[in-house]
Amino acid sequence: MGKIVFYEDKNFQGRSYECMSDCSDMSSYLSRCHSCRVESGCFMIYERPNFMGNQVYLRRGEYSDMQRMMGSNMNFDTIRSCRMVPHHRGQFRMRIYERESFGGQMMELMDDCDSIMDRYRMSDCQSCNVMDGHWLMYEQPHFRGRMMYMRPGEYRSFREMGMSNMRFQSMRRITDMC
């Protein structure tokens, strides 16, 4: 079980909201978020309700000034939802596809891939099927840029998930002991 505490102000000050599971809309609890403390587990935080928009992965630890820590990666005044990332034991397996609806070239991953272009000569990834494990997909090679959390399931179109301008170029397994 995980636990994260969000604070309206830097350095864990101001009103707070404690969360021990997924929360699809935090706007009724906090007007903004400038710091947080992950007491146990791992979480994805999202800038919009219902787990939409830019997202950031947080491990156990203290984040006293989230805006400074993340830079321009996300506007932390507008964190509106969070999702707990469960720890996965076992193998990792994901199929990535060049086009939406599982079209085009397909490759199967069982470990991290720092560049789909270098490894597979695949220019783009627009859909995927996560069979085992939990993954982070990044818009740039070498695990940089905006990210998206993928749990087991079929993802036919990243565009329909609110990620219309993102092209995923690298993927990493979430292996932390959450």
Domains located in the chain, CATH noted: 3-85 (2.60.20.10), 93-173 (2.60.20.10)
Local confidence pLDDT in tens for the 178 residues of the chain: 799 999 999 999 999 999 999 999 999 999 888 899 999 999 999 988 999 888 899 999 999 988 777 665 555 567 899 999 999 999 999 999 999 999 999 999 999 999 999 999 998 899 999 999 999 999 999 999 889 999 999 999 887 776 767 789 999 999 987 6
Model confidence, pTM:
0.88
Q: Are 24 and 81 in contact (CB under 8 A)?
A: yes
Q: Where does 20-86 show beta strands of DSSP type E?
A: 35-40, 42-48, 52-58, 61-63, 81-85
φ, ψ for residue 71, nearest 5 deg: 65, -135
Closest among 144, 141, 145, 4 to 61, alpha carbons compared: 4
φ, ψ for residue 119, nearest 5 deg: -80, -45
